[in-house]
């Protein structure tokens, strides 16, 4: 995973020393050309990238959690008007801890805002669907990255309103985050409330637990909230109707969520694989995971070892298949 930091409390830009490996990885995903370009602009620190901070930002907002794997901090600067409501956003930047989709979504959000010359209130009309459209699509399991950007923007607008003395409620502007305050917490792993779940189920047309996990991650960690009373399945049933018994019987055979899979893989790496590689002066770095494909980069002595392919197949892949999922494949990049 690529980690970009910059804002206080957020990770700094840190890229694997093998930058070409990242380039090859991005090409392996089913991303649009636009997504790839925005991602690589950030990776390479190009001048047209929006990664970074605005020291005297008029609006700052955060969304997500580093502990959950994705987090974003959003900044914008306005051209002030006599009436604060007429302020226009002239610059936007972000810091993020996340994957290719999180970075590209952040870049897209900044471009949409700057090119649109929006007021902060007008910017609230930007939805995650607009970000996905701008990127010319995202993999279904990465839609939550676009949601993260829209949520961070709303938090930044709320910050601007407070600083500028703008009463959003008096103007008829309803912030979804305010609705979530005090709402019952359904997913404790990702801090997702009942009101947010209900809203996202309708907005994103989510019909199954897998849909919810893919879109907003809720239910994708410990899984306790999936079928608990008042949990995700109950909220889905309340919106779309009770699913048939066959669908409920599939609970026992559900695949691991991307979050659960990555955690199990990391555990096996730390406990079983890395100690073996370290004995010979080597190590392995997980670059990314796409469904059952695990992209890795061998480092240290393993990087130049003539038997590297054997290490991949007979040590790393075999151990992960034995302890996580026998459908996994490990690919060196």
Query: What b/e string do you get for 287-324 counting C-beta neighbours within 10 Å, with b at 16 or more?
Result: bbbeeeebbbbbbeebeebeeeeebbeebbbebbeebb
Query: What CATH number has the domain bearing residue 285?
Result: 3.30.300.130
pLDDT tens, 32-67? Answer: 889 989 988 988 889 889 999 999 999 999 886 655
Q: In what order do the strands lie in the sheet with 329-332?
A: 282-290, 293-300, 329-332
Q: What is the pTM of this model?
A: 0.62
Beta carbons of 127 and 173 less than 8 angstroms apart: no
Q: Domain boundary at 120, 143, 177, which?
A: 177
Is the residue at 286 inside a domain? yes
For residues 185-214, give the mean pLDDT: 85
* Greater pLDDT, 128 or 28: 128
> Nearest 5°: CA angle at 100, between 94 and 104?
45
Q: Check whether 110 has a pLDDT greater than 50.
A: yes
Is the residue at 12 inside a domain? no
Q: Domain boundary at 224, 253, 282, which?
A: 253
For residues 178-189, give the mean pLDDT: 77
For residues 79-87, give the mean pLDDT: 97
**In this predicted structure, what is the pLDDT of residue 15?**
38
Total structural domains in the chain?
A: 3
**In this predicted structure, what is the pLDDT of residue 88?**
98
User: What span, in angstroms and rounded, lies between the C-alpha atoms of 286 and 267?
Assistant: 12
Backbone angles phi, psi at 121, to 5 degrees: -70, -40
Do 128 and 78 lie in a common domain?
Answer: yes
Do 221 and 303 lie in a common domain?
Answer: no
Is the residue at 216 inside a domain? yes
The band of 75, judged by pLDDT with boundaries at 50, 70 and 90, is very high
The band of 333, judged by pLDDT with boundaries at 50, 70 and 90, is confident
Q: Check whether 27 has a pLDDT greater than 50.
A: no
Q: Check whether 278 has a pLDDT greater than 90.
A: no
pLDDT tens, 1-12? Answer: 343 434 334 444
Do 285 and 312 lie in a common domain?
Answer: yes
Compute the mean pLDDT over every residue in the chain, rounded to the nearest whole number: 81
**In this predicted structure, what is the pLDDT of residue 259?**
65
Is the residue at 30 inside a domain? yes
Q: Check whether 181 has a pLDDT greater than 70.
A: no
Nearby residues of 284 by Cβ (< 8 Å), 6 or more positions away: 269, 273, 274, 277, 296, 297, 298, 299, 302, 316
Tell me which residue range forms the domain holding 275: 258-332
Do 244 and 268 lie in a common domain?
Answer: no
Do 214 and 314 lie in a common domain?
Answer: no
Instruction: Please identify every residue annotated as catalytic.
Output: 68, 145
Is the residue at 42 inside a domain? yes
């Amino acid at each position: 995973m690529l980690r970009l930091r910059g804002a206080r409390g957020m990770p700094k830009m840190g890229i694997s020393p093998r930058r070409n490996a990242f380039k090859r990885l991005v090409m392996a995903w089913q991303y649009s050309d636009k997504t790839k370009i925005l991602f690589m602009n950030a990776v390479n620190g190009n001048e047209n990238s929006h990664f970074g901070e605005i020291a005297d930002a008029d609006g700052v907002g955060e969304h997500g959690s580093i502990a959950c794997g994705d987090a974003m901090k959003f900044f914008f600067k306005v051209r002030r008007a006599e009436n604060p409501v007429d302020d226009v956003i002239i610059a936007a930047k972000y810091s993020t801890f996340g994957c290719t989709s999180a970075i590209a979504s952040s870049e897209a959000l900044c471009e949409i805002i700057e090119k649109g010359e929006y007021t902060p209130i007008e910017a609230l009309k930007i939805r995650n669907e607009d970000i996905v459209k701008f990127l010319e699509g995202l993999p279904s399991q990465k839609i939550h990255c676009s949601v993260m950007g829209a949520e961070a923007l709303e938090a930044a607008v709320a910050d601007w309103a407070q600083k500028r003395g703008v009463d959003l409620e008096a103007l008829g502007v309803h912030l979804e985050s305010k609705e979530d305050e005090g709402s019952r917490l359904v997913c404790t792993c990702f801090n997702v409330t009942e009101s947010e779940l209900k809203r996202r189920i309708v907005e994103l047309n989510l019909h199954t637990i897998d849909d919810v996990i893919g879109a907003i991650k809720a239910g994708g960690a410990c899984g306790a909230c999936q079928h608990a009373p008042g949990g995700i399945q109950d909220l889905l049933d309340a919106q779309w109707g009770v699913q048939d018994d066959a669908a409920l019987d599939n609970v026992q055979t559900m695949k691991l969520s991307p979050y659960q899979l990555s955690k199990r893989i990391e555990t096996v790496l730390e406990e079983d694989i890395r100690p073996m590689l370290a004995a010979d002066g080597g190590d392995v770095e997980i670059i990314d995971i796409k469904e059952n494909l695990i992209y890795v980069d061998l480092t240290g002595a393993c990087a130049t070892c003539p038997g590297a392919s054997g290490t991949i197949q007979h040590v790393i892949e075999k151990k992960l298949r034995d302890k996580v999922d026998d459908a996994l494949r490990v690919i060196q990049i």
